[in-house]
Amino acid sequence: MQYVHLGRSGLKVSRLCLGTMNFGPQTSELDSFAMMDQALEQGINFFDTADVYGWKLGKGWTEQIIGRWLSQGGGRREKVVLATKVFGRMGEWPNQSRLSARHIKQACEASLRRLQTEWIDLYQMHHVDRETPWEEVWQAMEQLVREGKIVYVGSSNFAGWHLAQAQEVARSRHFLGLVSEQSLYNLNERTIELEVIPACETYGIGLIPWSPLGRGLLAGVLNPVEGGRRAEEDLKKKVAQSLQKLEAYEALCAQIGERPADVALAWLLHQKAVTAPIIGPRTIEQLDGAIRALSLSLSHDTLKQLDRLFPGPGGTAPEAYAW
């Protein structure tokens, strides 16, 4: 396994991050335990979750599963860099969502109980909150750091100017601020190259792409055996819209003798701003398959062909759209 620093921090994480959103709704607790054990055996030390995962209001179902796994001991908690998130609605009352200081405090303490741990390594804001001032957000996060309940702070789904705004306020408070940003990023969805990635690079913020396979679109979807998700209606619609591009993509993958899912992951790992793509396996077999991408080196010619197929926005802003 390869390890890199998370942004400008001294924390080292594996180049793949185990996403746990399927734990509970699609993957049983027993299978989730086996998958986390297998991830550790493979050297994956970076696990990502959120308080809303499990999708039962206020229950934190996925966090509970992870907590019961951690409680087995055997060095699990010491080995894992544990990341969770705050923002989503955890109840019906007005202050049970978003990023008020009150909700941040209560949500963190609830996550700690469910995860059965004394600290969270990376506490991420699941979305930007335009209704709460940054001074309030950072005051709450600073307090959690002082209390030893969290170690680092990250963001998710922020625009480039949100990252800049957050970091400048943190700097004025002599606080480390954000060490990571979790964004939608894959071969087919490259909008963040305009401003989010430049902001991450400027501020030393690690990039953690979610949906690296484009919600299944890049996983070999034209081959029902390999893709395995062709029956999903929304995916079928996207396939129809991008059929010619996908045919060329899968033909290129066949030409170099690699699975489309592995090529999509490997492409992300070739992007210098990327720290660790989040893989969200539903089975151990899918987890084992993702490991292959770490050893897959794409040639310069293959990378150029992928850029022609999935050109992205044309570079960084404003040059991507202006002189």
Q: In sequence order, which residues have a C-beta less than 8 Å from that of residue 59 and are 6 or more positions away?
A: none
Of 53, 123, 152, 203, which is the active-site residue?
Answer: 53
Cβ pair 249, 213 in contact under 8 A: no
Phi, psi of 289 (to 5 degrees): -65, -35
* Tokens 């062909």 belong to residue: 305
Per-residue H/E/C for 191-230: HHHCCHHHHHHHHCCEEEEECCCCCCCCCCCCCHHHHCCC
- Which residue, among 18, 22, 70, 66, has the nearest Cα to 44 in the 3D structure? 18
- Name the E strands within 71-159: 81-86, 120-125, 150-156
Q: Which amino acid is at 90?
A: M
Q: Which amino acid is at 85?
A: K
Cβ pair 32, 70 in contact under 8 A: no
- Which residue, among 1, 2, 17, 19, has the nearest Cα to 281 in the 3D structure? 19
> How far apart are alpha carbons 212 and 207 in whole angstroms?
12
Q: Which amino acid is at 163?
A: L
Q: In sequence order, which residues have a C-beta less than 8 Å from that of residue 174 and are 6 or more positions away?
A: none
Question: Could you count the other beta carbons within 10 Å of the beta carbon of residue 154?
Answer: 26
> How far apart are alpha carbons 145 and 175 in whole angstroms?
10
Q: Does 249 qualify as catalytic in the annotation?
A: no
Q: Which residues are catalytic?
A: 53
